[in-house]
Amino acid sequence: MLADRKIPFSESKEEEWEILKQKTEGGIELMLEDSQRWFLATTEGDGIRITSAEKNVRPLMVREPPLIEFDEFQRVAGVYNEAFFGGIGDLSGRLEAHNSSPNMRYLFMLIYYLI
């Protein structure tokens, strides 16, 4: 499913970050494809807080709700298109982003659904 949307990111990715913060301002529930469980993303200050879904019947249990900040978003957005549209030789960037971003799966869903 995720491989059908290539995102034309801006150079700095600040525009896309602001779009995500606007769309999550009142809170939005999204599903993680790998577990079919739902999480709630809400703008909090300069970041986006991830918590367990409140309205959906299959919430993901988020024990320590992370606050995603711009630098983490920028790292993940930098490899988003390559992760789906690059060849097998392009996996090193995705692996590096995965190792440095514990919230990569949430960010992939936010990017896919909201940008």
Question: Helix (H, G, I), strand (E, B), or coil: what is residue 3?
Answer: helix
For tokens 């529930």, what's the residue? 29
Q: How many angstroms separate the CA atoms of 99 and 41, rounded?
A: 22
pLDDT in tens, 31-90: 998 889 999 999 999 999 999 999 988 899 999 999 999 999 999 998 888 777 766 566
pLDDT given for residue 64 in this prediction: 93
Judged by average pLDDT, the poorest of 4-8, 25-29, 62-66, 87-91 is 87-91
Question: Helix (H, G, I), strand (E, B), or coil: what is residue 70?
Answer: helix
Left if phi > 0, otherwise alpha if psi is -120 to 50, otherwise beta: which for 27? left
- Could you tell me the two tokens for 16? 């896309």
- Could you tell me the two tokens for 19? 């779009």
Q: What is the distance, to the nearest Å, from the Cα of residue 61 to the centroid of all Cα atoms in its chain?
A: 17
Helix (H) or strand (E) holding 27: none
